[in-house]
Structure 1
């Protein structure tokens, strides 16, 4: 009776937890991470260095001292602390010292950063680097929440909807698909942890029953970006629906990817390897010189105003990607960014 396990039992447990008398707990509607990012005042990449309780006996908070690595959103000032409630029942977050986190929160009237479990606070992963840029591009979009359509029916939220969602999740048959926004090759290069030139020499399936990967053994020819070490293999999803890439044995590729916590190099179809061409040698050097620039899609024609530190990507609107894919966005001596074609002359595409 697997349907009983996946549906009825979770329903009973959720209802008992939500409907018990006198049970005071933190409640907030779960939002998609992009919504939490877009609705936050501040988003940071920071490492927790210390933790202490502050405030009075009846109104305690926890103060986290942090070492700021990067401001992803919000005022450009050196955040060195943030505050949260003293318990999970009051929506406080519990973080570990020495761990680097992706932190979103609200600015209080006194300028302090306040973070709760309703905000998006998770250990930092290399994939967040790309996600943040994509979240920024989608803040004008609305991500619909099923719960928001029934604001007065709390029993529906606590019981029926979790039941529906759990059953849909458990009983679906292979309805998972890879989805990612196609970036200009320069953005894929600049946002990657590693970029190498390498030949594929072997391929094999690895991993467990429900978490398969494909391991490609490679012969690295050149390291363009990343830690000074020799990569002998890369990993990818086992299927295209898991964002896996299909590479050919004996072919040399320009490979960009993200480093996993265990040091392995992971590659996905969101930044797919491309067969190596002689022109890549020049392009890679230009990509390196343009990583301080931002390549922004233009969603209308004509485009709006552009910032001096960005290049507008308009060719994709007209289905003519190749010229821009073979160009690089670089800074000029005056600090402005412009397109450079293979011939090295700047253009304002």
Structure 2
């Protein structure tokens, strides 16, 4: 019984550290729930000025810089503009630096359909809960071949970055 209690607490703590998402049941609803949706070519992962290094500390504890990652991308097409920050050309997109905070790893030189949030004063943000489809996925082809029509957006996106520390919070419904 003692071991069961330890395992239960371990799973509870581990689960609280992970990213979890709610996805809309169909692709059009998922498309419309994001502030922007684009076709982007990933140019480069831009390293932060103070680096994004992992280092060993005392007793082999790994510390990781929590600065967000920034990708330089070329927006090839805009499917859902959001506002005037979303237009074709080169721009930066940020994401949390690790997957536990819903961060995304993109491959340089690949095309993706990306959908995410627009925050102030930052530009475009993406999270693993957003739209991230590479060119081999059926969803990538479906978005490129459809002309989804979204009603005027209310603030119904369940995931929003509103805190100064870029933490993810749920919108009040």
With normalisation by structure 2, the TM-score equals 0.58
Q: 1:174 deviation in Å? A: 11
Residue 200 in structure 1 maps to residue 55 in structure 2: no
The verdict on how the C-alpha distance between 1:232 and 1:176 changes in structure 2, with shifts beyond 3 A counting, is same
Q: 1:245 deviation in Å? A: 1.1
Where 2:48 maps in the other structure, the secondary structure is strand
Q: 1:177 deviation in Å? A: 1.6
Q: 1:279 deviation in Å? A: 3.7
Report the counterpart of residue 69 of structure 2 in structure 1: 214
Report the counterpart of residue 141 of structure 1 in structure 2: none
The verdict on how the C-alpha distance between 1:254 and 1:173 changes in structure 2, with shifts beyond 3 A counting, is closer
The unaligned stretches of length 5 or more in structure 2 are 1-12, 51-63, 153-173
The unaligned stretches of length 5 or more in structure 1 are 1-171, 293-349
Q: 2:76, 2:19 → 1: CA distance?
A: 30
More helix by share: 1
With normalisation by structure 1, the TM-score equals 0.30
Report the counterpart of residue 29 of structure 2 in structure 1: 187
Q: 2:31, 2:151 → 1: CA distance?
A: 9
Where 1:281 maps in the other structure, the secondary structure is helix
Report the counterpart of residue 19 of structure 2 in structure 1: 178
Match of 2:80 among 182, 205, 225: 225
The verdict on how the C-alpha distance between 1:268 and 1:176 changes in structure 2, with shifts beyond 3 A counting, is same
Report the counterpart of residue 125 of structure 2 in structure 1: 266
Equivalent residue runs for 1:316-327 within 5 Å: none
Q: 1:258, 1:232 → 2: CA distance?
A: 15
Asked if 1 retains the 8 angstrom alpha-carbon contact of 2:23 and 2:30, the reply is no
The verdict on how the C-alpha distance between 1:173 and 1:192 changes in structure 2, with shifts beyond 3 A counting, is closer
Q: 1:217 deviation in Å? A: 0.8
Asked if 1 retains the 8 angstrom alpha-carbon contact of 2:37 and 2:78, the reply is yes
User: Larger Cα Rg: Structure 1 or Structure 2?
Assistant: 1
Q: 1:265 deviation in Å? A: 0.4
Q: 1:263 deviation in Å? A: 3.9
Q: 1:212 deviation in Å? A: 1.5
